[in-house]
Amino acid sequence: MKLSKINHYKSISSTNKKALELAKKGIHDRIIIADTQVKGKGRFNRTWYSSKGGAYFSILIKIEKIEHLKYLTFAAALSVLKTIEKITKLKPKIKWPNDVYINDKKVCGILTESTTNNNLTYAIIGIGINVNQKRFPKSIKNIATSMFKETNKEFNIKKIIIKTKNNFLKYYNLIKNNNYKKIIDETKKHSLLIEKNIKIKTLNKTHIGKVIDIDKNCRLIIKKYDNKIIKIIEGDIISYN
Ligand code: BTN
């Protein structure tokens, strides 16, 4: 797989939405790119701020095993991290499960979705990287950053997307070879949260405690203050320090 087919749009509702539509038609192995999105999707039904100057793209692949799905977000986060590291010399971090951070601010968000059609499973890995934005709306100003804001330099968005795609192909190969350990180990190595105290909201509860690990099933392992260990598969980090 080379992922060399690209659908490029000036403006679109959401590249993930477009990819889902294509998957429904049996189309896969391509990248959907948009210069801006009218309704960029984030996790938990949030909107993703998608002004011109960011990299907004979705990687659409057909997956061989359902088991592979859960590693794709980490693979994408590592791919973005390596891209940013290489071209800026900064040291980004992965904030479990789907964000890339620089200096405690979010530079990238990832939304992985899946759909089935004719017994085939398609994965859509949606990636939003803040590249050349000079400012953000008030509501996210304190939590968001861009590569420009961190370096005072502008970057070629297309190059960032291609580099990230190529990195992703390498990590995806590891997943295809069932080498999940390497993905988890690398994610842990670059983790923002390990050893930090966090407050996390899950579907039915808010927990506080210290992050001690990420396990082989991508779960965040937290030691609560009563020494109980909990394993979280999905949650929203409210704060960390
Ligand atoms: C998050 O942090 O909540 C995930 C944000 C994911 C945003 C990207 S931008 C490209 C792709 N298309 C979308 O509509 N969302 C993802």
Q: What is the residue-level pLDDT of the chain in tens, covering all 241 positions?
A: 889 999 999 999 999 999 999 999 999 999 999 999 999 999 999 999 999 999 999 999 999 999 999 999 999 999 999 999 999 999 999 999 999 999 999 999 999 999 999 999 999 999 999 999 999 999 999 999 999 999 999 999 999 999 999 999 999 999 999 999 999 999 999 999 999 999 999 998 999 999 999 999 999 999 999 999 999 999 999 999 9
Task: Give backbone dihedrals phi and psi of 114, rounded to 5 degrees, phi first.
Answer: -145, 160
Residue 183: CB atoms within 10 A of its CB come to 22
- Angle (CA) 86-154-108 rounded to 5° is 60
- For residue 15, give the ligand 1 atom closest to its CA: 12
- Angle (CA) 230-75-135 rounded to 5° is 95
What is d(CA 136, CA 12) in angstroms, rounded to the nearest whole number?
20
pTM over the 0.95 mark:
yes
- For residue 54, give the ligand 1 atom closest to its CA: 9
Residue 186 C-alpha to ligand 1 middle, in angstroms? Answer: 23
